[in-house]
Chain A
Amino acid sequence: MQQTPLHGVHACLDAKFTPFGGWNMPLRYTSELAEHHAVRRSAGLFDLSHMGQIDVAGPDAAQALDFALTSHISALGIGAAKYTMICAEGGGILDDLVVYRLGADWFLVVANAANTGSVVQALQERGAPAVLATDRAMIAVQGPDAESILARFTPTGSLRYYAGRAATIAGRQVMLARTGYTGEDGFEIYCGASDAVALWELMSAAGATPAGLACRDTLRLEAGMPLYGNELHLGITPFDAGLGRVVAFGKPGGFVGQAALAEQSVRGPQHVLAGLTGQAKRSARQGYVVTDPLSGETIGTVTSGAPSPTLGRPIALAYLRTGYSTGSETAVDIRGTAEPFTVTSPRFYTRSR
């Protein structure tokens, strides 16, 4: 199992570790509830060095990524970032990605840890000059105080949401991006492996609370953000996941998965990703069956669920048959007992500032 350049720092903080995508990652440092609230109320500090940082550079890089991915990558301005997907020929999702355009012919593709190898291989097979960087780290500072923390070290004012650029923090060259996966404003610092510890200590000393993967999961769930392996997998298309906006049919040239996705965009998905809010205390968990409380018919399956620390009640994401709109009542079989859940928007939490 791989360790990030920050492993020693986590061990010193007495983190509880968990295997994740082939990496030994901090699950929590003290309390996942306290870490969750720190991100919502002030700022959390995450080690995301397990995520795959894939360089795609060369004169044909933009066109190759247009062919390999679902979005219109060549239309991105320099410094822009894009949430996108890489699909199989049949339209199923191989991974969800963030792509940064760092130069005219230079892109950074960020993949989920468990999928990094298959993404690199697929990119290469599709003609993109993809090289996995192995000497890097990534630290995220997320929460309402993230900007004031970063602003102590580097100008942040002109960095818009979903943009990234070269920056210097305490004399270290980094790529600073205003991105994240927590539902809060925040920054991701892409840096050299040898700079990771110093940058982590700097952010920690400036007030960002170390936060592990346990709270990252409840944070992204509250924000309605899909997780590969739960909401997203090869059997799901972007349209199933309610993310058809990442598919750009109008871009020049074809792309892998185009025919299958075009057919589905016309036909419409069989299932939709819905939010469920529990009226009782018990949480629906991944794999639990959702039924219609009147007919008793199975109408879907839970993909993620937890007691929401911010809302104080159970929330879940589930694929449901079409026809169950916001406000519909459902029942989730929680270990043999039908518990009432109401269909809501998947975005359970939206930040207010």
Chain B
Amino acid sequence: MLLYSQEHEWVDVAAGTVGITAFAADALGDIVYVELPAVGAEVTAGEVCGEVESTKSVSELYAPVSGTVVEVNSEVVADPSLIGADPAGKGWLYRLTISHTPQLMSEQEYQELIS
């Protein structure tokens, strides 16, 4: 099950994976560069941990949960267009061991936010 942050990130709490939403990817346009936290990095919910850049703009990545990064998706680093093509699938960004999950939105609550 996916939960959503105000900064348009999703987190799969069971798998520990994080990505950006289709809404955010569409707003950015063609993503050409992504900078992710390093494996082993501690990220804090609500704080900046990376960035995604399109031809048109750049957007910071905020960690939706706190934890320790255990894996980054090397495929999206090599081919950032995966984020726009499949934001909740092949476009996942990093996986972490979650230490703290703040209050996040359900799918329905997030859809209400962006509609």
Instruction: Judge whether A306 and B33 touch: CB under 8 Å.
Output: no
A172 within 8 A of B: no
Please, what's the 1-or-0 string for B23-43, where 1 marks a CB less than 8 Å from any CB in chain A? 000100110110100000000
The CA-CA distance from A16 to B29 in the complex, in Å, is 10
Residues of B within 8 A of A182 (CB): none
A32-B56, A214-B55, A285-B58 are contacts. A307–B26 as well, Cβ < 8 Å? no
Instruction: Judge whether B55 and A218 touch: CB under 8 Å.
Output: yes
Residues of B within 8 A of A267 (CB): none
Task: Name A's interface SS.
Answer: mixed
Instruction: Judge whether A16 and B56 touch: CB under 8 Å.
Output: no
Residues of A within 8 A of B29 (CB): 27-28, 31-32, 214
Task: Name B's interface SS.
Answer: strand
The CA-CA distance from A281 to B35 in the complex, in Å, is 10
Number of A-B contacts (CB under 8 A): 45
Q: How many residues of A contact B (CB 8 A)?
A: 19
The CA-CA distance from A307 to B26 in the complex, in Å, is 18
A180 within 8 A of B: no
Q: How many residues of B contact A (CB 8 A)?
A: 14
A33 within 8 A of B: yes
Residues of A within 8 A of B30 (CB): 31-33
| Closest residue on chain A to residue B60 by CB atoms | A335
A309 within 8 A of B: yes
Instruction: Judge whether A32 and B33 touch: CB under 8 Å.
Output: no
Q: Which of B35, B51, B53, B60 contacts A307 (CB 8 A)?
A: B53
A31-B30, A281-B33 are contacts. A309–B55 as well, Cβ < 8 Å? yes
A122 to chain B, nearest CB (A): 32
Q: Which residues of B contact A (CB under 8 A)?
A: 26, 29-30, 32-33, 35, 51, 53-58, 60
Please, could you name 7 A-B residue pairs with CB atoms under 8 Å apart, sorted by A? A16-B26, A31-B30, A282-B35, A282-B51, A283-B33, A307-B32, A307-B33
